[in-house]
Amino acid sequence: MAEDLLSPQRIDDVAERYPQVPRLLARLPADDLLRAGRLLSRVSPDEVLRAHPTTPTLTIAVTGHGTLSALVPALTAQLARHGILLRPHLTDYDSYVFELSDPDSELHAANPDMALCVLDPAVVFDEVPTPWHVDDVEKVLAEKTALVEGIAARFADTARGVLVLNTVPLLRRHTGQLVDLKSRARLGVLWREFNARLLALVETNPSVVVIDLDPLVAEGVEVTDARLDSYAKAHLSQDLLAAYAREVGHLARNLAGRTKKCLAVDLDNTLWGGVLGDDGPEGIEIGGGYRGEAFRSFQRVVAQLGSQGVLLAAVSKNDPEPVRAVLREHPDMVLREGDFVRVAASWWPKSESIAALAEDLNIGADSFVFADDSPYERGQVRHALPDVAVVDLDDEPALHPHRLLLDGWFDVRELTGEDLKRPAKYRDELVRKDFMHGFDSIADYLAELGVRVRLARVEPADVPRVSQLTLRTNQFNLTTKRLQPAEVQSLLADPSAQVLAIHSGDRFGDNGLVGVVFTRREHDVVHVENFLLSCRVFARGIEQACLSSVLARAKAAGASAVVGRYRPTAKNGKVRDFYPRNGFVPAGAEDDTSVFRHDLADIAAVPGHVRLTENFGGTP
């Protein structure tokens, strides 16, 4: 089927077949992936959306100093790999200063979700004199630093999207023009200080992301093609632009709410060498020899991901007790049983183990990454659970870390305190599931669970977590409006808007900030612009309690009605009737969004098993 996709004769079929595209692209080599990107870039996004209206779509503007047309097909392919449709906007050659700074520019008119300002070495060296000295470069670097910082600040003030910058590689052809090593060293210092200033922009400007090209170059990617650089002003090589596009794809996945949550990892020949059932605990390879050290190194990488909020699950075809014994007792293991939210050791098909875990954790199969050395097991999971991202490992453990990390499956813009607590909270959630099984009815379970809810206005310290919830929450997300931190901050400063954080807890502990309600008052009507809730806390009465509170508050403040909206997506079908179930009546539609209205005459009470506290702050 991949060959069909790559055939220009089949281009007319691509829009109809777009949901199949991610699976077809998943295992293509780099050259074929770029070729597929060229084909896909010829497909109209509007045609795809007519056939598949819930397809996530991002508008990305591309601007910079050099010729960047080769970046568009690379971006198209990388976004398509993650099921995202690209609307590209490519600016004219060397127009980045005007396009990013002027709110009346075509770039601003495109209203991009991301604006890629691609920087290259010629940004600096096109402006040094001939001959040049290090002092000349220092002057230009200072000017460019001030220019880029000014552009970033201006863009944050005038645009809603994310500005993506990059560090700039220093070429041998430039350092080689200096014949004394002391001058070369000074140029290196100045250049690294310039890149450090670029990287530091993320600390002061929440609208900025900086992609560091140094790690890509360090892996052997050529920075430039001398002929294309000279003849076409394409200052970065096609290979580097392709690697850059892959990094942008990770960010795009996050912006589209498609960041993965759980790493399901095999054990035999993946976390350790050998087969536990055949070799026994004393015969598996962990530490000791060179292969054993490679497996330990991979375990360290997995542990590092887990320490940053990635849920870890062991999925293995083994008897459970020997597996648990190794995880608890083997002296060379880095990962222990407590590092996993679930150790699924059984003889079930691995797809069934993953599906059962998804149900227990109340997350979708599309939240999983599955890493296994067995082609059979990978193929079985791909076939049964096509939404799971599958990492192809093999019999070379030294390459396991590279293959797992290549696609940045768990990348987010910023870690929050809630991220670091996530594994413990999901482990608590599994305890809640076990607790529930001891009751004859859901009502009895909820009565004993002791649900606590605090609905309070968002504080500045909560902004990163609120933004993250809008980016990551898909199932209970009534309009799927994705907001960057700067956009949340802007709403906090808007006197007509109110952003309310939902905190919850119960007898098993604190769940933290698990949801958000966005409201805006226009005259005597309160509009619920979005309502979202983490999948961890569904079906406990939390959503009904918070909606009841918002309605009662609106009535007390003199509002005549509350209006809510629901925009369907591929993931939020379970809340399509949320407003009708809670006393709202249909009130028309706005494009693809259904509108509902509550006249505040009959407001349902907060569920009796929920203990609710409120702090609205101001008038809704």
**16-31 pLDDT tens trace:** 888 889 988 888 888 8
Mean pLDDT computed over every residue of the chain: 90
**Sign (positive or negative) of CA dihedral 588, 591, 593, 598:** negative
**456 in Cβ contact with 615 (< 8 Å):** yes
**61 in Cβ contact with 110 (< 8 Å):** yes
In the CATH hierarchy, which fold is given to the domain comprising 56-255?
Rossmann fold (3.40.50)
Name which residue leads in pLDDT, 434 or 84. Answer: 84
Block residue for tokens 């770039």: 107
**Averaged pLDDT, 123-141:** 96
**15 in Cβ contact with 44 (< 8 Å):** yes
**Distance from C-alpha of 461 to C-alpha of 480, rounded to nearest angstrom:** 23
| pLDDT band with cut points at 50, 70 and 90 for residue 449 | confident
In the predicted structure, residue 73 carries a pLDDT above the cut 50? yes
pLDDT for res 614: 87
pLDDT for res 599: 92
**Averaged pLDDT, 182-208:** 95
Q: What's the gap between Cα 438 and its chain centre? A: 37
**314-370 pLDDT tens trace:** 999 999 999 999 999 999 999 999 999 999 999 999 999 999 999 888 888 999 999
**Distance from C-alpha of 46 to C-alpha of 513, rounded to nearest angstrom:** 37
pTM of the model: 0.81
pLDDT for res 9: 54
In the predicted structure, residue 430 carries a pLDDT above the cut 90? no
Name which residue leads in pLDDT, 440 or 525. Answer: 525
In the predicted structure, residue 478 carries a pLDDT above the cut 50? yes
Greatest mean pLDDT range, 39-48, 235-244, 285-294, 509-518 = 235-244
In the predicted structure, residue 117 carries a pLDDT above the cut 60? yes
Stretch among 167-176, 188-197, 357-366 having the lowest mean pLDDT: 357-366
Stretch among 115-119, 133-137, 536-540 having the lowest mean pLDDT: 536-540
Residue 501's nearest CA partner among 541, 539, 538, 461 is 461
Helix, strand, coil % over all residues of the chain, rounded to 5: 45, 20, 35
Identical fold, 56-255 and 262-405? yes
**Distance from C-alpha of 547 to C-alpha of 545, rounded to nearest angstrom:** 6
pLDDT for res 3: 55
**Distance from C-alpha of 151 to C-alpha of 35, rounded to nearest angstrom:** 34
Q: What amino acid occupies position 156?
A: A
**381-427 pLDDT tens trace:** 999 999 999 999 999 999 999 999 999 999 988 888 888 888 887 88
In the predicted structure, residue 572 carries a pLDDT above the cut 80? yes
Greatest mean pLDDT range, 167-176, 409-418, 432-441, 503-512 = 167-176
Residue 369's nearest CA partner among 324, 432, 305, 416 is 305
User: Token digits for 392?
Assistant: 């192809």
Q: What is the tally of helices (H) and strands (E) in the chain?
A: 27, 19
pLDDT for res 17: 87
In the predicted structure, residue 583 carries a pLDDT above the cut 70? yes
**Averaged pLDDT, 447-470:** 89
pLDDT for res 1: 47
**Averaged pLDDT, 112-132:** 96
| pLDDT band with cut points at 50, 70 and 90 for residue 6 | low
Give the start-to-end residue ranges of the domains of the chain.
Answer: 1-55, 56-255, 262-405, 423-615
- Could you tell me which CATH number the domain at 423-615 has? 3.40.630.30
| pLDDT band with cut points at 50, 70 and 90 for residue 10 | low
3-state secondary structure string, 316-378?
A: EECCHHHHHHHHHHCCCCCCCHHHCCEEEEECCCHHHHHHHHHHHHCCCHHHEEEEECCHHHH
Q: What's the gap between Cα 43 and its chain centre? A: 25
Strand ranges of the sheet holding 208-211, from the earlier edge strand across to the other edge: 85-90, 57-64, 114-118, 162-166, 208-211
Task: Place domain 262-405 in its CATH homologous superfamily.
Answer: HAD superfamily/HAD-like (3.40.50.1000)
| pLDDT band with cut points at 50, 70 and 90 for residue 57 | very high
pLDDT for res 472: 84
